[in-house]
Amino acid sequence: MHKGWWRAQLERGDGKLVVFNMETVKQNNRWLFFIRNDKERIGLKNITINGDSVNFAMPVFESEFKTTLQPDGSLKGKWFKGTALQTQQWNFTAIPTKKDRFDAIVGAPKFDVSGRWAVAITRPNGTRRPAVAELKQKGSYLSGTFLTPSGDYRYLEGIVTGQLLFLSVFDGAHAYSFTADIIDSNSIANGFFYSGYNGKEAWTALRDDDAKVPDVGNTPELRAGEERLNFAFKDLYRNTVSINDARFQNKVVVIQLMGSWCPNCMDETKFLNEYYLKNRDRGVEVVSLAYEYSTDYERSRTSLLKFQQRFNVQYPMLITGAWVNDSLRTEKTLPQITPIKVFPTTIFIGKDGRVQKFHSGFYGPGTGEYYELFKKEFEETIEELLRK
């Protein structure tokens, strides 16, 4: 089997392709597989090679590949992705020796799109949703991310060729592809955003150095007359953990509302665990409440254990038992607050046990200054609560 770079592609339901790159390395007679999204490298797990059968899995998410090595050296098979309703099967192909994600089909770029863009994404029903794009172009190589009110699209990688723009990302959950025409240095039009197996939205963008992601009311709040949360759920080892337990008393507590299916939750988990390890001796606790693709404890536990092991999470991860698609998920788990609209959502509790602040969404390391701003505001919030 080929050692080195591959160009991989996933075929959506409409035949459109989500393209990404893989690298295979053999060390000490052991194969290592990686997925690349710009500067991100994701090491794959459960790599098994038996004859021409080549199987591997993502380190987190319900996401695995079953492929066959072809006579021409390519890999062909299926990507299996767990969802709330079914396990999707996508056609998968990987071609060896292709390090570039896209070909320069119409030559060198005519414009440089580096910078900040105000984006309008149009849903199939005609309504619009706002976003901000942060793009970096070096020659024809393009990278960046899109930020929405609920989070970011992580590490996008692509190309500018002529007046065409192509970007994509695959991380085991996100399977996204962007195309567009670059009208001039300040305008992008005729764009399409392909998300998941069937999602398709139009998009346009105007260069705007002052563009900001608007607040669209995604953040929950306490219901009238409520001051505290009251919950008790099982952790990954079947122990019941309650917010009223002694370990949380007289401490600042960060509640992470998340799911093992959520890439932004993955980025937040990494941040929270690192912060917790540095600050737990100062009277800070963290606990996550998981809303999963299933109400089945064992399926949820299996997925969450991947999260825990990937980041060596040291704080409790609790399984709410609520199906993420349940319209009453909040009422069934945290009836003291208004509906949860975004994952992740973070709740800050003061040393007196009262809820002090909510934060919805997460801008991860792929967003640059937005991530740094989030960290600064997070740390300032904790310091303020520790002083009270």
Q: Is residue 227 part of a domain?
A: no
CA 260 to CA 263: how far, in whole Å?
8
Looking at residue 213, its pLDDT comes to 92
Q: Identify the H or E element spanning 267.
A: helix 263-279
Q: Is residue 212 part of a domain?
A: no
pLDDT in tens, 216-240: 888 999 999 999 999 999 999 999 9
**Residues 370 and 284 both lie in one domain:** yes
CA 64 to CA 45: how far, in whole Å?
9
Is the pLDDT assigned to residue 66 strictly greater than 90?
Answer: yes
**Residues 62 and 153 both lie in one domain:** no
* pTM recorded for the entire structure: 0.93
**Residues 247 and 356 both lie in one domain:** yes
Q: How confident is the model at residue 346 (pLDDT cuts 50, 70, 90)?
A: very high
Q: If you average pLDDT over residues 186-198, what whole number do you get?
A: 98
Q: Identify the H or E element spanning 85.
A: none
Q: Is residue 48 part of a domain?
A: yes
- Average pLDDT score, the chain: 97
Residue finishing a domain among 96, 126, 143: 96
In 123-163, DSSP assigns E strands to 128-138, 141-148, 151-152, 156-161
Residue scoring higher pLDDT (214 or 380): 380
**Residues 310 and 366 both lie in one domain:** yes
Is the pLDDT assigned to residue 187 strictly greater than 90?
Answer: yes
Q: Between vectors from CA 220 to CA 219 and to CA 223, what angle results, nearest 5°? A: 155
Domain that holds residue 142: 115-207
Q: Is residue 110 part of a domain?
A: no
Q: For residue 366, what is the domain's CATH number?
A: 3.40.30.10
Please answer whether residues 276 and 315 qualify as being in contact, where contact means their C-beta atoms are separated by less than 8 angstroms: yes
Share of the chain above pLDDT 70, in %: 100
**Residues 310 and 383 both lie in one domain:** yes
pLDDT in tens, 260-315: 999 999 999 999 999 999 999 999 999 999 999 999 999 999 999 999 999 999 99
Is the pLDDT assigned to residue 317 strictly greater than 90?
Answer: yes
Q: Identify the H or E element spanning 270.
A: helix 263-279
From the list 100, 105, 113, the residue with the least C-alpha distance to 19 is 100
pLDDT in tens, 89-138: 999 999 998 799 999 999 999 999 999 999 999 999 999 999 999 999 99
**Residues 356 and 268 both lie in one domain:** yes
**Residues 253 and 376 both lie in one domain:** yes
Q: Are strands 252-258 and 284-292 parallel, antiparallel or unpaired?
A: parallel
**Residues 374 and 239 both lie in one domain:** yes
**Residues 251 and 317 both lie in one domain:** yes
Q: Is residue 352 part of a domain?
A: yes
Q: Is residue 222 part of a domain?
A: no
**Residues 75 and 137 both lie in one domain:** no
Q: Is residue 9 part of a domain?
A: yes
Residue finishing a domain among 207, 242, 260: 207
Q: If you average pLDDT over residues 163-192, what whole number do you get?
A: 98
Q: How confident is the model at residue 214 (pLDDT cuts 50, 70, 90)?
A: confident
From the list 348, 321, 359, the residue with the least C-alpha distance to 229 is 348
Q: How confident is the model at residue 242 (pLDDT cuts 50, 70, 90)?
A: very high
Q: Is residue 126 part of a domain?
A: yes
**Residues 124 and 198 both lie in one domain:** yes
**Residues 262 and 361 both lie in one domain:** yes
Q: How confident is the model at residue 31 (pLDDT cuts 50, 70, 90)?
A: very high
Q: For residue 187, what is the domain's CATH number?
A: 2.40.128.120
CA 24 to CA 33: how far, in whole Å?
5
| Number of structural domains in the chain | 3
